[in-house]
Structure 1
Amino acid sequence: MPSLKRLLAPPQHFAQDPLLFHRAQLLNFSLLALIAVMTTAALFNLIVLGDSTLARIQLAMVATILLALWHFRRRASLQGPAWLASSCAGAMLLYLIIHARGDSSPYLMLLLYPLFAYPLHGPRAATLAYLVFVAAVLAVFAYGWVHWDVVNPARKLFNTLVALVVGGGIIYYYEHTREEALNRVRILSMTDPLTGLWNRTMFDEMLAHEIATTQRHQRCFSLILLDIDHFKHINDTLGHDVGDTILRELAQLLSTRRRASDGLARWGGEEFALILPDTSRQQAEQLACDLLETIRAHRFPHAERVTASLGVGTFCPGNDRATFFRAIDQALYRAKRQGRDRHAMTDDEQTAD
């Protein structure tokens, strides 16, 4: 049972994103189901019907799907395995139509394709796949008019197209609204409601991703931890509404000074964190100086003067995350002990403005 549960569970890489996790669950189950169905069909065709050619084709598809399943579980990749799964499902449905030679019952199964494709791909990609599928159905009908003895093929084509368009439209609308709702939940779970920046949870994910990228590509990144000076005093004397306004203004100010590739988050309370990919120690220190000058020059509403203290450090391959972040935190408090309104570097090197 534990082995079966592990097999049915999608990779934990997708656990933090509800939308991707749902797709990963469906893809994992679909690949396993396709392997089981195609293997059974191949054995049936080989042993019962004696159709070795079709059986070999189905076993080749099983081998391909097994490769896709391995790639999905080991590499945590969705796109390629998802297209392979939907293509195999579509091919199976088209085969049922051709094999039935005009019998009406398999046409009802065509609605299984959008039910399968839309949750797996999402509205945009699935619509493209569905249009290709509908075109293939029309091609099958054109083939059938020539080779099959079909009673009233025009009516059957019309009824099938109505079912495909109406059924596909309803499934598209449902999946589109469901995905929008999940996206709203995802955004709310990753952003700070006051400043609109990424929250602590998202910061931890960005930091883990940047560390993994650093180790993989053997390059360095820098991190700046910023803390507003005397923020408790601002709240106590001017009120929390003013404090919230200052936090929002500072978040906007930092957003305008960062690069598109930088990760900016509210780390907690009056603290902000800025992840700087592919940034050397000297570049990070220069940015810290620029940020201090920008904050000093800005006129915050209802506050005479707002300053900040910064801890700055650079993470390189081979460094330890916990040790690195502890050094950044110590540098920040060192800047505060030295008089605030300044920055301090890690590794016991201090630079004051």
Structure 2
Amino acid sequence: MKFIEVENIEDGLKKVTDNKIFAYAGSLVGIAYNLQNRFAGELKIAGKIGENWPLSNGVRNDDLILLNIMQKAINSVTKEQRKEILNKWFSIKYENGIDYTMLYQLLTVFLLILGIVSYFYNQKRRLHFELEVAYKKLEKLAVTDKLTGLYNRHKTDEILVNQKELSNRYENSFGVILLDIDHFKNINDSFGHNIGDKVLKTFARILKRNTRTTDFIGRWGGEEFLIIVPQTEKKSIIKFANMLKEAIESYEFPEVKNATSSFGVTLYKDNESLDTTLVRVDEALYQAKKEGRNQVIYK
């Protein structure tokens, strides 16, 4: 025989149910209690070893009063009372053989029940999956601009608040870029709103293609877009904005052919309000448009 040590009774019985060991030997009281409460119907007591393992109750060696009380309490329990107590906690049944006829009948019933349960389980699982997919779609719709697929204004506001908290906590700065499609009204008036919508979608694709995965792009409203750039500095964000400006300027848009954009750029300052940051970047954009458009102004 190969003996394998286990952590405790529950661990040993679990290994038997998992077919990792053939059998477990231990205290009858402990085994019976665990079979009744944790492994009911899974395991059975197969036999009894001809040894007694006396159990004792211990107290601290500096508490003689408690020791005397406990000893008197144990001595006062009669054999009948002990049996009565044990019978309340477990019942002993030894299995010496298997009735295979009964086993086949039980197996047939079990397979039938299992089939019914599996059918309803799969139905429930399918419905749960469909609900989960629908919930994710709704969740995405709640934060996404329908036309461009970028974050909507509500989600962009939420990201700004999160970035402010991170910036204040870790003492680093984040940048904000506000850009506006130049003469977008003329595009709508000359080519129609359908073409104008295509230009907005194309702008969104250009921005996505030329930004990092850590950047956040939102449609701020109309033809305005807001880009949040975590952990950046003045030189880097100005270079980044100019790169986006050139990518837009060199792109050939459907129908419209050429389109440009004006950029306002700023950095969030320690512990200032977001309104202050947004007013500053808006002023930078206004200055870029006032000074001839298709340029980047840092403020």
Secondary structure at 2:231 match in 1: coil
1:233 to 186, 190, 201: 186
CA contact (8 A) 2:195 2:255 kept: yes
Aligned-partner Cα distance in 1 for 2:283–2:132? 43
Residue by residue over 1:89-146, the C-alpha shift from the partner in whole angstroms, topping out at 9 and shown as x without a partner, is xxxxxx99944xxxxxxxxxxxxxxxxxxxxxxxxxxxxxxxxxxxx9xx65322586
The CA distance in 1 between the partners of 2:94 and 2:121, in whole Å, is: 28
Is residue 222 from structure 1 mapped to residue 122 from structure 2 by the alignment?
A: no
Counterpart AA for 2:42 = A
Rounded Cα–Cα distance in structure 2 between residues aligned with 1:149 and 1:170: 41
Alignment partner of 1:327 is 2:280:
yes
Instruction: Say whether residues 1:199 and 2:152 are aligned partners.
Output: yes
Q: Point out the more displaced range, 273-282 or 145-154.
A: 145-154
Aligned partner of 2:5 in structure 1 is none
Q: CA deviation at 1:199?
A: 1.4
For residue 275 of structure 1, give the secondary structure of its aligned residue in structure 2.
strand
The 3 A distance-change label for structure 1 pair 144 and 339 is: farther
2:142 corresponds to which residue?
189
Instruction: State the TM-score, normalizing by the size of structure 2.
Output: 0.64
Per-residue CA deviations over 1:25-63 (Å, capped at 9, x if unaligned) read xxxxxxxxxxxxxxxxxxxxxxxxxxxxxxxxxxxxxxx
Q: 1:251 aligns with which of 195, 204, 207?
A: 204
Change (3 A) 1:142 1:277: same
C-alpha distance in 2, partners of 1:317/1:186? 32
Letter in 2 for 1:142: E
Q: TM-score, normalised by structure 1?
A: 0.55
Match of 1:141 among 31, 34, 41: 41
Task: Choose from 230, 237, 240 the match for 1:277.
Answer: 230
SS of equivalent to 1:206: helix
Corresponding residue SS for 1:143 = coil
Give the whole-Å Cα distance in 2 for the aligned partners of 1:252 and 1:140: 61
- In 1, Cα distance between equivalents of 2:247 and 2:197: 19
Q: How far apart are residue 319 of structure 1 and its match? A: 2.2
Which protein has the larger Cα radius of gyration, Structure 1 or Structure 2?
A: 2
* Gaps in structure 2 of 5+ consecutive residues: 1-32, 47-91
Pairwise CA RMSD: 2.9
Tell me, what secondary structure is at the counterpart of 1:301? coil
Higher relative contact order, chain-length normalized (CA < 8 Å, sep 6+):
2
Mapped to 1, the partners of 2:244 and 2:221 lie a distance apart of: 19
What's the CA shift string for 1:254-309, capped at 9, x where partnerless?
11100011111111110111111111121111011111111111111222431111
1:172 paired residue number:
125
Q: 1:96 to 1:230 in 2, by over 3 A?
A: farther
Q: State the distance in 1 between where 2:294 and 2:113 align.
A: 72
Aligned length: 214
> What do residues 227-275 of structure 1 show as CA deviations (whole Å, max 9, x unaligned)?
0011111111121122111111111111110001111111111011111
Alpha-carbon spacing, 1:160–1:193, altered in 2? closer, same or farther (3 Å): same
Alpha-carbon spacing, 1:265–1:169, altered in 2? closer, same or farther (3 Å) = same
What secondary structure is seen at the aligned counterpart in 1 of 2:226?
A: strand
Distance 1:342 1:148, change over 3 A: farther
Task: Give SS of 1:209's match.
Answer: helix
Amino acid at match of 1:327: R
